[in-house]
Amino acid sequence: MEQKFISASLKLGPLTPLVGEWEGNVGVDLAYQNKDDVIARTTSFEKAWFKPIPIQENGQQSIEGLAYKITNWRHGEEAMDPFHDESGYLLWDKKNGQVIQSVVFGRGIAILAGSDAGPNDKEIRFKATPGEPCYGILQNKYLLERAELKSYDHTFIFNEDGTFTHTSDIILKLAAIGKEMHHTDTNTLHRVKRYHPSVELA
């Protein structure tokens, strides 16, 4: 009987380059600092991992994807508690040409974001807007009153040298300053560990 081999790129589409563990030391976060009542930039060190998950089936829909976790520490505070922590799934719906991000933050925020994508795209985006029935945003009562999320835009760019750069732009309506602002994050990460798909399934 002829044996068939399935390339990982056919299964994970544009998410394929992310599989593994990553580190980046050039993070920049622009955010409102509550303690000092200022908008300031913070530099950071970041660790992330992305692990393939079993195929997910919703009726006639089949989804491949990755479980992931991203954690950030301010420079000089690497031995202390991180200031940012998120976990979720990045999903590839080949038939419908969609990438999807399902993510929760420890602050009490849940986001389902997505957009059109092709299997070999070198840049993918995840977008969400509050109130949208498909790609939307939920947050806890306190944040809704003090720091309401108005939009979410997260982009991954796969670089020629094997690194990837991700940038997020979140528009917040901040009660403390009485207006909206762009909370942005960016970092470039390099892979520090590869996973073998036969033994590293989440």
What is the C-alpha radius of gyration for the chain, rounded to an integer number of angstroms? 18
CA dist 39 to 164, 178, 181, Å? 27, 13, 9
pLDDT tens-digit readout, 39-93: 999 999 999 999 999 999 999 999 999 999 999 999 999 999 999 999 999 999 9
What does the pLDDT read at residue 188? 98
- Each domain of the chain, given as residue ranges in start order, spans 13-194
Closest CA to 197 of 51, 39, 15: 51
Is-contact 190 23, C-beta < 8 A? yes
Joined tokens for residue 157 = 């760019």
- What is the fold, at CATH topology level, of the domain defined by 13-194? Lipocalin (2.40.128)
Judged against a pLDDT cut of 90, whether residue 3 lies above it is answered with: no
- pTM metric for this prediction: 0.90
Judged against a pLDDT cut of 70, whether residue 31 lies above it is answered with: yes
* Cα gap 82→92, rounded to integer Å: 29
* Cα gap 122→113, rounded to integer Å: 18
Joined tokens for residue 93 = 């719906």
Question: Computed from CA positions of residues 35, 37, 41, 46, in that sequence, does the dihedral angle turn out positive or negative?
Answer: positive
Q: Which residue has the tokens 């991954």?
A: 156
Q: Say how many CA atoms lie within 13 Å of 25 toward its Cβ.
A: 5
pLDDT tens-digit readout, 110-119: 999 999 999 9
Let me know if 3 is exposed, middle or buried by CB neighbors in 10 A (0-12, 13-18, 19+): exposed
What does the pLDDT read at residue 33? 86
* Cα gap 191→22, rounded to integer Å: 4
